[in-house]
Structure 1
Amino acid sequence: MQQDMNGRVALITGAGAGIGRATARQMAARGARVGVNDLKDELVNAVVEEIRAEGGSAFAVVWNVSTREGMTEAVRAAYEECGRFDVLVNNAAWVRYQAVLEIAPETVERMLDIGFKAVIWGIQAATEVMDPERGGAIVNVASTAALRSAASSVVYSGIKAGILGITRAAAAELGARRIRVNAVCPSAVPTEGTQRNRNVERDAARVARTPLGRLGVVEDIARGIAFLASDEAGFITAQALTIDGGITFTNI
Protein backbone atom coordinates (compact mmCIF):
# COMPACT_ATOMS: atom_id res chain seq x y z
CA MET A 1 0.00 0.00 0.00
CA GLN A 2 1.33 3.44 -0.92
CA GLN A 3 2.04 5.69 2.03
CA ASP A 4 0.85 8.95 0.44
CA MET A 5 -0.90 10.30 3.53
CA ASN A 6 1.96 10.07 6.02
CA GLY A 7 1.67 12.68 8.75
CA ARG A 8 -1.90 13.66 7.84
CA VAL A 9 -4.70 13.71 10.39
CA ALA A 10 -8.11 12.61 9.11
CA LEU A 11 -11.53 12.45 10.75
CA ILE A 12 -14.15 10.14 9.26
CA THR A 13 -17.69 10.54 10.55
CA GLY A 14 -19.95 7.50 10.73
CA ALA A 15 -16.88 5.28 10.67
CA GLY A 16 -18.17 2.51 12.92
CA ALA A 17 -19.27 0.39 9.96
CA GLY A 18 -19.74 0.29 6.19
CA ILE A 19 -18.13 2.89 3.93
CA GLY A 20 -16.87 4.89 6.90
CA ARG A 21 -15.07 1.94 8.43
CA ALA A 22 -13.51 0.99 5.09
CA THR A 23 -12.39 4.60 4.57
CA ALA A 24 -10.79 4.77 8.01
CA ARG A 25 -8.87 1.57 7.28
CA GLN A 26 -7.85 2.78 3.81
CA MET A 27 -6.51 6.10 5.05
CA ALA A 28 -4.68 4.48 7.95
CA ALA A 29 -3.07 2.05 5.52
CA ARG A 30 -1.89 5.07 3.52
CA GLY A 31 -0.17 6.48 6.59
CA ALA A 32 -2.76 8.88 8.00
CA ARG A 33 -3.57 9.14 11.67
CA VAL A 34 -7.31 8.51 11.68
CA GLY A 35 -10.02 9.77 14.01
CA VAL A 36 -12.83 7.21 14.00
CA ASN A 37 -16.17 8.84 14.72
CA ASP A 38 -19.50 7.25 15.51
CA LEU A 39 -22.14 7.27 18.24
CA LYS A 40 -21.39 3.90 19.86
CA ASP A 41 -18.22 3.30 21.83
CA GLU A 42 -18.13 -0.38 20.97
CA LEU A 43 -18.24 0.24 17.22
CA VAL A 44 -15.62 2.98 17.33
CA ASN A 45 -13.25 1.06 19.59
CA ALA A 46 -13.52 -2.04 17.43
CA VAL A 47 -12.46 -0.10 14.32
CA VAL A 48 -9.64 1.64 16.21
CA GLU A 49 -8.30 -1.70 17.43
CA GLU A 50 -8.64 -3.20 13.96
CA ILE A 51 -6.57 -0.40 12.45
CA ARG A 52 -3.93 -0.63 15.15
CA ALA A 53 -3.71 -4.39 14.69
CA GLU A 54 -2.97 -3.76 11.01
CA GLY A 55 -0.12 -1.41 11.96
CA GLY A 56 -2.02 1.84 11.46
CA SER A 57 -2.66 4.80 13.74
CA ALA A 58 -6.19 5.55 14.95
CA PHE A 59 -8.03 7.12 17.86
CA ALA A 60 -11.65 7.23 19.00
CA VAL A 61 -13.87 10.28 18.52
CA VAL A 62 -17.23 9.35 20.03
CA TRP A 63 -19.46 12.35 19.39
CA ASN A 64 -22.95 12.91 18.04
CA VAL A 65 -22.27 14.95 14.90
CA SER A 66 -25.94 15.66 14.14
CA THR A 67 -25.65 19.02 15.91
CA ARG A 68 -23.34 21.93 15.25
CA GLU A 69 -21.93 21.61 18.77
CA GLY A 70 -21.29 17.89 18.36
CA MET A 71 -19.57 18.25 15.01
CA THR A 72 -17.45 21.12 16.28
CA GLU A 73 -16.39 19.08 19.30
CA ALA A 74 -15.54 16.06 17.12
CA VAL A 75 -13.29 18.11 14.84
CA ARG A 76 -11.75 19.92 17.79
CA ALA A 77 -11.06 16.60 19.54
CA ALA A 78 -9.17 15.30 16.50
CA TYR A 79 -7.22 18.54 16.21
CA GLU A 80 -6.26 18.56 19.88
CA GLU A 81 -5.32 14.86 19.80
CA CYS A 82 -2.81 15.39 17.00
CA GLY A 83 -1.99 19.10 16.89
CA ARG A 84 -3.15 19.44 13.29
CA PHE A 85 -6.13 18.64 11.08
CA ASP A 86 -5.89 17.81 7.38
CA VAL A 87 -8.82 15.73 6.14
CA LEU A 88 -12.52 15.54 6.91
CA VAL A 89 -14.78 12.88 5.43
CA ASN A 90 -18.45 13.74 5.94
CA ASN A 91 -19.87 10.24 5.77
CA ALA A 92 -22.40 10.00 8.62
CA ALA A 93 -26.02 9.51 7.57
CA TRP A 94 -29.34 8.13 8.74
CA VAL A 95 -31.66 6.91 6.01
CA ARG A 96 -35.32 5.97 5.71
CA TYR A 97 -37.09 5.46 2.41
CA GLN A 98 -40.74 6.55 2.45
CA ALA A 99 -43.34 7.10 -0.25
CA VAL A 100 -44.41 10.72 -0.70
CA LEU A 101 -47.66 10.33 1.23
CA GLU A 102 -45.87 8.52 4.07
CA ILE A 103 -43.04 10.99 4.70
CA ALA A 104 -43.04 11.88 8.39
CA PRO A 105 -41.68 15.14 9.86
CA GLU A 106 -39.44 13.29 12.31
CA THR A 107 -37.89 11.34 9.43
CA VAL A 108 -37.11 14.51 7.51
CA GLU A 109 -35.65 16.25 10.55
CA ARG A 110 -33.38 13.38 11.53
CA MET A 111 -32.16 12.79 7.98
CA LEU A 112 -31.45 16.51 7.56
CA ASP A 113 -29.63 16.78 10.90
CA ILE A 114 -27.28 13.87 10.27
CA GLY A 115 -26.97 13.79 6.50
CA PHE A 116 -27.18 17.45 5.48
CA LYS A 117 -26.70 19.95 8.30
CA ALA A 118 -23.76 17.95 9.68
CA VAL A 119 -21.98 18.39 6.35
CA ILE A 120 -22.26 22.17 6.68
CA TRP A 121 -21.14 22.15 10.32
CA GLY A 122 -18.29 19.80 9.48
CA ILE A 123 -17.00 22.05 6.72
CA GLN A 124 -17.26 25.04 9.03
CA ALA A 125 -15.43 23.32 11.89
CA ALA A 126 -12.71 21.90 9.64
CA THR A 127 -12.08 25.28 8.06
CA GLU A 128 -11.49 26.78 11.49
CA VAL A 129 -8.68 24.36 12.36
CA MET A 130 -7.04 23.61 9.00
CA ASP A 131 -3.76 25.45 8.51
CA PRO A 132 -4.37 28.19 5.89
CA GLU A 133 -0.90 27.68 4.42
CA ARG A 134 -0.97 23.88 4.34
CA GLY A 135 -4.66 23.65 3.48
CA GLY A 136 -6.57 20.42 3.59
CA ALA A 137 -9.18 18.24 1.94
CA ILE A 138 -12.86 17.65 2.61
CA VAL A 139 -14.72 14.78 0.99
CA ASN A 140 -18.50 14.60 1.26
CA VAL A 141 -20.28 11.30 0.71
CA ALA A 142 -23.25 11.89 -1.58
CA SER A 143 -24.89 9.17 -3.69
CA THR A 144 -25.87 8.28 -7.23
CA ALA A 145 -29.37 9.10 -5.94
CA ALA A 146 -28.32 12.74 -6.36
CA LEU A 147 -28.04 12.06 -10.10
CA ARG A 148 -30.70 9.47 -10.83
CA SER A 149 -33.50 8.89 -8.36
CA ALA A 150 -35.97 6.14 -7.57
CA ALA A 151 -39.41 6.04 -5.97
CA SER A 152 -39.69 6.50 -2.19
CA SER A 153 -36.47 8.51 -2.07
CA VAL A 154 -37.68 12.12 -2.11
CA VAL A 155 -35.91 13.05 1.13
CA TYR A 156 -32.79 10.97 0.51
CA SER A 157 -32.33 12.12 -3.08
CA GLY A 158 -32.95 15.74 -2.11
CA ILE A 159 -30.35 15.62 0.64
CA LYS A 160 -27.73 13.95 -1.52
CA ALA A 161 -28.32 16.41 -4.36
CA GLY A 162 -27.96 19.20 -1.83
CA ILE A 163 -24.60 17.82 -0.76
CA LEU A 164 -23.33 18.32 -4.30
CA GLY A 165 -24.41 21.96 -4.14
CA ILE A 166 -22.69 22.39 -0.77
CA THR A 167 -19.54 20.80 -2.19
CA ARG A 168 -19.30 23.15 -5.15
CA ALA A 169 -20.06 26.29 -3.12
CA ALA A 170 -17.58 25.38 -0.38
CA ALA A 171 -14.90 24.63 -2.97
CA ALA A 172 -15.42 28.05 -4.53
CA GLU A 173 -15.08 29.81 -1.19
CA LEU A 174 -12.34 27.76 0.44
CA GLY A 175 -9.91 27.43 -2.45
CA ALA A 176 -8.18 30.61 -1.29
CA ARG A 177 -7.40 28.78 1.97
CA ARG A 178 -5.96 25.84 -0.01
CA ILE A 179 -8.86 23.63 1.09
CA ARG A 180 -10.16 21.30 -1.59
CA VAL A 181 -13.78 20.15 -1.34
CA ASN A 182 -15.05 17.19 -3.35
CA ALA A 183 -17.76 14.57 -3.17
CA VAL A 184 -18.21 10.93 -4.06
CA CYS A 185 -21.42 9.47 -5.43
CA PRO A 186 -21.48 5.75 -4.63
CA SER A 187 -24.10 3.40 -5.96
CA ALA A 188 -25.71 1.02 -3.47
CA VAL A 189 -23.05 -1.27 -1.99
CA PRO A 190 -23.63 -4.07 0.51
CA THR A 191 -23.20 -2.75 4.06
CA GLU A 192 -24.76 -3.39 7.43
CA GLY A 193 -27.05 -0.42 6.89
CA THR A 194 -28.32 -1.39 3.43
CA GLN A 195 -29.21 -5.00 4.17
CA ARG A 196 -32.90 -4.27 4.82
CA ASN A 197 -33.32 -2.74 1.35
CA ARG A 198 -31.59 -5.55 -0.55
CA ASN A 199 -32.62 -8.96 -1.85
CA VAL A 200 -31.20 -11.52 -4.25
CA GLU A 201 -33.46 -10.55 -7.15
CA ARG A 202 -32.73 -6.84 -6.82
CA ASP A 203 -28.99 -7.46 -6.61
CA ALA A 204 -29.08 -9.67 -9.69
CA ALA A 205 -30.97 -7.01 -11.65
CA ARG A 206 -28.46 -4.37 -10.62
CA VAL A 207 -25.51 -6.56 -11.66
CA ALA A 208 -27.17 -7.18 -15.04
CA ARG A 209 -27.41 -3.40 -15.63
CA THR A 210 -23.86 -2.62 -14.49
CA PRO A 211 -21.23 -2.50 -17.27
CA LEU A 212 -18.54 -3.89 -14.97
CA GLY A 213 -20.78 -6.82 -14.10
CA ARG A 214 -20.70 -6.79 -10.30
CA LEU A 215 -21.91 -4.98 -7.24
CA GLY A 216 -19.54 -2.50 -5.70
CA VAL A 217 -17.99 -3.10 -2.30
CA VAL A 218 -17.14 -0.60 0.43
CA GLU A 219 -13.45 -0.77 -0.46
CA ASP A 220 -14.24 0.58 -3.93
CA ILE A 221 -15.74 3.68 -2.36
CA ALA A 222 -13.01 4.02 0.26
CA ARG A 223 -10.29 4.05 -2.39
CA GLY A 224 -12.06 6.85 -4.24
CA ILE A 225 -12.40 8.90 -1.06
CA ALA A 226 -8.75 8.36 -0.16
CA PHE A 227 -7.69 9.44 -3.64
CA LEU A 228 -9.64 12.71 -3.41
CA ALA A 229 -8.13 13.38 0.02
CA SER A 230 -4.56 12.73 -1.14
CA ASP A 231 -1.99 14.91 -2.90
CA GLU A 232 -2.63 12.89 -6.04
CA ALA A 233 -5.83 14.92 -6.33
CA GLY A 234 -4.08 18.18 -5.51
CA PHE A 235 -5.66 20.10 -8.44
CA ILE A 236 -9.11 18.56 -8.08
CA THR A 237 -11.86 20.46 -6.28
CA ALA A 238 -15.63 21.06 -6.65
CA GLN A 239 -16.02 17.61 -8.25
CA ALA A 240 -18.37 14.69 -7.71
CA LEU A 241 -16.73 11.33 -8.40
CA THR A 242 -19.31 8.72 -9.35
CA ILE A 243 -18.27 5.25 -8.16
CA ASP A 244 -20.87 2.86 -9.51
CA GLY A 245 -19.40 0.47 -12.07
CA GLY A 246 -20.98 2.58 -14.80
CA ILE A 247 -24.64 1.94 -13.99
CA THR A 248 -25.77 5.54 -13.61
CA PHE A 249 -24.74 6.89 -17.00
CA THR A 250 -25.24 3.86 -19.22
CA ASN A 251 -28.18 1.84 -20.44
CA ILE A 252 -27.41 -1.84 -20.98
Structure 2
Amino acid sequence: MDTGLAKQTAGELEGKVAIVTGASRGLGKAIAALYAAEGAHVALVDLKQHWAEAAATEIGNGAIGLGADVSDRAALTAAIDEAAARFGKIDVLVNNAMWNSYDLIADITPEIFARMTGVGLGGIVWGIQAVLPHMPESGGAIVNIGSMAGRLGSAGALLYAAVKAGVDGLTRSASVELGPRSIRVNAIAPSTVATEGVKAILTPEQFESRVGQTPLGRLGEIDDIAQAALWLAGARSGFVTGQSLAVDGGLGHTLRR
Protein backbone atom coordinates (compact mmCIF):
# COMPACT_ATOMS: atom_id res chain seq x y z
CA MET A 1 0.00 0.00 0.00
CA ASP A 2 1.24 3.51 -0.83
CA THR A 3 1.34 5.40 2.45
CA GLY A 4 2.01 8.70 0.73
CA LEU A 5 5.25 9.11 2.70
CA ALA A 6 8.32 10.19 0.76
CA LYS A 7 10.86 7.39 0.41
CA GLN A 8 14.23 7.90 2.02
CA THR A 9 17.04 7.75 -0.52
CA ALA A 10 20.66 7.00 0.23
CA GLY A 11 23.16 9.81 -0.24
CA GLU A 12 25.40 9.80 -3.27
CA LEU A 13 28.41 8.79 -1.17
CA GLU A 14 26.60 6.50 1.27
CA GLY A 15 29.08 4.13 2.92
CA LYS A 16 32.13 5.79 1.35
CA VAL A 17 35.13 7.10 3.26
CA ALA A 18 36.65 10.39 2.16
CA ILE A 19 39.77 12.36 3.08
CA VAL A 20 39.77 16.12 2.41
CA THR A 21 42.95 18.16 2.94
CA GLY A 22 42.98 21.84 3.74
CA ALA A 23 39.53 21.26 5.16
CA SER A 24 39.18 23.55 8.17
CA ARG A 25 37.62 26.42 6.19
CA GLY A 26 36.61 27.66 2.76
CA LEU A 27 36.38 25.26 -0.14
CA GLY A 28 37.83 22.26 1.70
CA LYS A 29 35.34 22.59 4.51
CA ALA A 30 32.45 22.99 2.05
CA ILE A 31 33.48 19.83 0.19
CA ALA A 32 33.83 17.89 3.44
CA ALA A 33 30.40 19.08 4.62
CA LEU A 34 28.73 18.14 1.34
CA TYR A 35 30.35 14.71 1.35
CA ALA A 36 29.19 14.11 4.91
CA ALA A 37 25.67 15.24 4.02
CA GLU A 38 25.73 12.74 1.15
CA GLY A 39 26.50 9.86 3.50
CA ALA A 40 30.30 9.67 3.52
CA HIS A 41 32.49 9.16 6.56
CA VAL A 42 34.83 12.15 6.27
CA ALA A 43 38.26 12.87 7.72
CA LEU A 44 39.26 16.53 7.57
CA VAL A 45 43.02 17.12 7.45
CA ASP A 46 44.55 20.51 8.13
CA LEU A 47 47.83 22.02 9.31
CA LYS A 48 46.63 22.37 12.91
CA GLN A 49 44.65 19.54 14.43
CA HIS A 50 42.43 21.83 16.49
CA TRP A 51 41.38 23.64 13.30
CA ALA A 52 40.41 20.34 11.70
CA GLU A 53 38.65 19.09 14.82
CA ALA A 54 36.61 22.30 15.15
CA ALA A 55 35.47 22.06 11.54
CA ALA A 56 34.65 18.36 11.93
CA THR A 57 32.56 19.10 15.01
CA GLU A 58 30.67 21.78 13.11
CA ILE A 59 30.03 19.44 10.18
CA GLY A 60 28.95 16.54 12.39
CA ASN A 61 27.72 13.29 10.81
CA GLY A 62 30.68 11.44 12.35
CA ALA A 63 33.37 13.58 10.69
CA ILE A 64 36.80 13.56 12.33
CA GLY A 65 39.62 16.11 12.30
CA LEU A 66 43.31 15.27 11.91
CA GLY A 67 46.38 17.48 11.91
CA ALA A 68 49.18 17.25 9.34
CA ASP A 69 51.40 19.44 7.19
CA VAL A 70 50.68 17.92 3.77
CA SER A 71 54.18 18.82 2.54
CA ASP A 72 55.55 16.48 5.23
CA ARG A 73 55.23 13.00 3.74
CA ALA A 74 55.51 11.16 7.06
CA ALA A 75 52.99 13.40 8.84
CA LEU A 76 50.42 13.17 6.05
CA THR A 77 50.85 9.41 5.77
CA ALA A 78 50.31 9.04 9.53
CA ALA A 79 47.10 11.08 9.38
CA ILE A 80 45.74 9.09 6.44
CA ASP A 81 46.68 5.80 8.11
CA GLU A 82 44.80 6.93 11.22
CA ALA A 83 41.69 7.72 9.18
CA ALA A 84 41.88 4.32 7.47
CA ALA A 85 42.23 2.61 10.85
CA ARG A 86 39.15 4.47 12.13
CA PHE A 87 36.95 3.81 9.09
CA GLY A 88 38.43 0.64 7.60
CA LYS A 89 39.17 1.94 4.09
CA ILE A 90 39.48 5.07 1.95
CA ASP A 91 37.37 5.56 -1.17
CA VAL A 92 37.93 9.21 -1.97
CA LEU A 93 40.83 11.64 -1.58
CA VAL A 94 40.41 15.36 -2.20
CA ASN A 95 43.75 17.17 -2.47
CA ASN A 96 42.65 20.71 -1.67
CA ALA A 97 45.42 22.07 0.60
CA MET A 98 47.42 24.96 -0.85
CA TRP A 99 49.80 27.63 0.42
CA ASN A 100 49.67 30.83 -1.62
CA SER A 101 51.97 33.77 -2.11
CA TYR A 102 51.43 36.09 -5.07
CA ASP A 103 54.77 37.62 -5.98
CA LEU A 104 56.46 39.28 -8.90
CA ILE A 105 59.22 37.17 -10.42
CA ALA A 106 62.02 39.16 -8.76
CA ASP A 107 60.42 38.72 -5.33
CA ILE A 108 60.16 34.90 -5.28
CA THR A 109 62.48 33.52 -2.60
CA PRO A 110 63.71 29.95 -2.11
CA GLU A 111 61.46 29.75 0.96
CA ILE A 112 58.37 30.79 -1.01
CA PHE A 113 59.26 28.39 -3.83
CA ALA A 114 59.80 25.46 -1.45
CA ARG A 115 56.63 26.07 0.54
CA MET A 116 54.33 26.56 -2.42
CA THR A 117 55.58 23.58 -4.38
CA GLY A 118 55.85 21.46 -1.23
CA VAL A 119 52.18 21.95 -0.36
CA GLY A 120 50.71 22.41 -3.83
CA LEU A 121 52.46 19.51 -5.57
CA GLY A 122 54.23 17.49 -2.89
CA GLY A 123 51.06 17.29 -0.82
CA ILE A 124 49.22 15.71 -3.73
CA VAL A 125 51.94 13.15 -4.43
CA TRP A 126 52.28 12.18 -0.76
CA GLY A 127 48.50 12.03 -0.36
CA ILE A 128 48.05 9.71 -3.32
CA GLN A 129 50.88 7.48 -2.13
CA ALA A 130 49.35 7.26 1.33
CA VAL A 131 45.79 6.37 0.27
CA LEU A 132 46.66 3.69 -2.28
CA PRO A 133 47.16 0.86 0.26
CA HIS A 134 43.75 1.65 1.76
CA MET A 135 41.65 1.84 -1.41
CA PRO A 136 39.48 -1.24 -2.06
CA GLU A 137 39.92 -3.47 -5.09
CA SER A 138 36.74 -1.97 -6.53
CA GLY A 139 38.68 1.27 -6.94
CA GLY A 140 38.36 4.83 -5.73
CA ALA A 141 38.36 8.47 -6.74
CA ILE A 142 41.00 11.16 -6.35
CA VAL A 143 40.02 14.80 -6.87
CA ASN A 144 42.78 17.42 -7.12
CA ILE A 145 41.94 21.11 -6.80
CA GLY A 146 43.69 23.05 -9.53
CA SER A 147 42.93 26.51 -10.90
CA MET A 148 42.29 28.36 -14.13
CA ALA A 149 45.46 30.23 -13.18
CA GLY A 150 47.30 27.20 -14.53
CA ARG A 151 45.92 27.99 -18.01
CA LEU A 152 45.73 31.80 -17.97
CA GLY A 153 48.60 34.20 -17.40
CA SER A 154 48.60 36.85 -14.68
CA ALA A 155 51.33 39.18 -13.45
CA GLY A 156 52.43 38.27 -9.94
CA ALA A 157 51.13 34.72 -10.19
CA LEU A 158 54.03 32.96 -11.93
CA LEU A 159 54.66 30.39 -9.22
CA TYR A 160 50.99 29.84 -8.37
CA ALA A 161 50.21 29.32 -12.07
CA ALA A 162 53.13 26.92 -12.43
CA VAL A 163 51.97 24.81 -9.49
CA LYS A 164 48.38 24.67 -10.74
CA ALA A 165 49.54 23.78 -14.27
CA GLY A 166 51.52 21.01 -12.60
CA VAL A 167 48.33 19.77 -10.93
CA ASP A 168 46.79 19.28 -14.36
CA GLY A 169 49.79 17.32 -15.65
CA LEU A 170 50.05 15.26 -12.48
CA THR A 171 46.35 14.42 -12.74
CA ARG A 172 46.63 13.17 -16.31
CA SER A 173 49.65 10.97 -15.60
CA ALA A 174 48.22 9.56 -12.36
CA SER A 175 44.98 8.66 -14.16
CA VAL A 176 46.91 6.56 -16.68
CA GLU A 177 48.98 4.82 -14.03
CA LEU A 178 46.10 4.13 -11.64
CA GLY A 179 43.39 3.37 -14.19
CA PRO A 180 44.16 -0.38 -14.21
CA ARG A 181 43.35 -0.36 -10.48
CA SER A 182 39.96 1.27 -11.21
CA ILE A 183 41.11 4.43 -9.44
CA ARG A 184 39.91 7.57 -11.19
CA VAL A 185 41.97 10.75 -10.93
CA ASN A 186 40.49 14.10 -11.93
CA ALA A 187 41.00 17.77 -11.17
CA ILE A 188 38.82 20.85 -10.82
CA ALA A 189 40.02 24.18 -12.22
CA PRO A 190 38.00 27.02 -10.67
CA SER A 191 38.24 30.64 -11.67
CA THR A 192 38.01 33.28 -8.94
CA VAL A 193 35.60 32.10 -6.25
CA ALA A 194 33.70 34.71 -4.25
CA THR A 195 34.94 33.69 -0.82
CA GLU A 196 35.21 36.15 2.05
CA GLY A 197 38.99 36.06 1.62
CA VAL A 198 38.76 37.03 -2.06
CA LYS A 199 36.32 39.83 -1.28
CA ALA A 200 38.77 41.13 1.33
CA ILE A 201 41.70 41.12 -1.10
CA LEU A 202 40.04 42.55 -4.22
CA THR A 203 39.00 46.17 -4.45
CA PRO A 204 35.37 46.71 -5.51
CA GLU A 205 36.68 47.74 -8.95
CA GLN A 206 38.74 44.57 -9.30
CA PHE A 207 35.82 42.45 -8.15
CA GLU A 208 33.49 44.00 -10.72
CA SER A 209 36.15 43.66 -13.42
CA ARG A 210 36.39 39.91 -12.83
CA VAL A 211 32.62 39.61 -12.85
CA GLY A 212 32.55 41.52 -16.13
CA GLN A 213 35.08 39.16 -17.72
CA THR A 214 32.98 36.10 -16.87
CA PRO A 215 30.38 35.15 -19.51
CA LEU A 216 27.87 33.96 -16.89
CA GLY A 217 28.05 37.37 -15.25
CA ARG A 218 29.08 36.33 -11.77
CA LEU A 219 31.98 34.82 -9.88
CA GLY A 220 31.87 31.23 -8.74
CA GLU A 221 30.52 30.33 -5.32
CA ILE A 222 32.03 27.72 -3.02
CA ASP A 223 29.06 25.43 -3.61
CA ASP A 224 29.70 25.46 -7.37
CA ILE A 225 33.08 23.87 -6.74
CA ALA A 226 31.85 21.54 -4.00
CA GLN A 227 29.13 20.17 -6.28
CA ALA A 228 31.74 19.45 -8.97
CA ALA A 229 33.84 17.65 -6.35
CA LEU A 230 30.80 15.57 -5.39
CA TRP A 231 30.16 14.59 -9.01
CA LEU A 232 33.78 13.57 -9.59
CA ALA A 233 33.79 11.47 -6.40
CA GLY A 234 30.55 9.63 -7.12
CA ALA A 235 29.27 6.93 -9.43
CA ARG A 236 27.77 9.36 -11.95
CA SER A 237 31.29 10.15 -13.23
CA GLY A 238 32.34 6.49 -13.23
CA PHE A 239 33.86 6.62 -16.74
CA VAL A 240 35.58 9.99 -16.29
CA THR A 241 39.29 10.10 -15.49
CA GLY A 242 42.31 12.21 -16.32
CA GLN A 243 40.21 15.34 -16.77
CA SER A 244 40.61 18.85 -15.43
CA LEU A 245 37.10 20.24 -15.18
CA ALA A 246 36.91 24.01 -15.63
CA VAL A 247 34.33 25.46 -13.25
CA ASP A 248 34.80 29.02 -14.39
CA GLY A 249 31.56 30.45 -15.77
CA GLY A 250 33.10 30.37 -19.26
CA LEU A 251 36.07 32.60 -18.39
CA GLY A 252 38.56 30.33 -20.12
CA HIS A 253 36.89 30.90 -23.49
CA THR A 254 36.96 34.69 -23.43
CA LEU A 255 39.39 37.14 -24.97
CA ARG A 256 40.69 39.09 -22.00
CA ARG A 257 41.03 42.85 -22.44
Which residue matches 1:237?
Answer: 241
Which residue matches 1:59?
Answer: 64
What are the equivalent positions in structure 2 for 1:192-207 lying under 5 Å apart? 193-195=197-199, 197-207=201-211
Question: Alignment partner of 1:89: what SS?
Answer: strand
Conserved 8 A contact 2:191-2:248: yes
Q: 1:191 to 1:43 in 2, by over 3 A?
A: farther
How far is 1:212 from its partner?
1.2
How far is 1:57 from its partner?
2.8
Question: Alignment partner of 1:167: what SS?
Answer: helix
How far is 1:190 from its partner?
2.9
Conserved 8 A contact 1:99-1:152: yes
Q: Distance in 2 between matches of 1:194 and 1:113?
A: 23
What are the equivalent positions in structure 2 for 1:32-43 lying under 5 Å apart? 32-43=40-51
Conserved 8 A contact 1:17-1:192: no
RMSD of the TM alignment (CA)?
1.5
Conserved 8 A contact 1:65-1:74: no
Please say which structure displays the higher CA radius of gyration: 2
The one-letter code matched in structure 2 to 1:212 is L
Which residue matches 1:125?
Answer: 130
Q: Kindly indicate whether residue 36 of structure 2 is the aligned counterpart of residue 28 of structure 1.
A: yes
Structure 2: gaps of 5 or more residues: 1-8
The one-letter code matched in structure 2 to 1:92 is A
Q: Which runs of 4+ in 1 moved over 4 A?
A: none
Which residue matches 1:134?
Answer: 138
Which residue matches 1:175?
Answer: 179
Question: Alignment partner of 2:189: what SS?
Answer: strand
Q: Distance in 2 between matches of 1:156 and 1:201?
A: 23
The one-letter code matched in structure 2 to 1:48 is A
Q: How many residues align?
A: 248
How far is 1:193 from its partner?
4.6
TM-score (structure 1 length as normaliser): 0.94
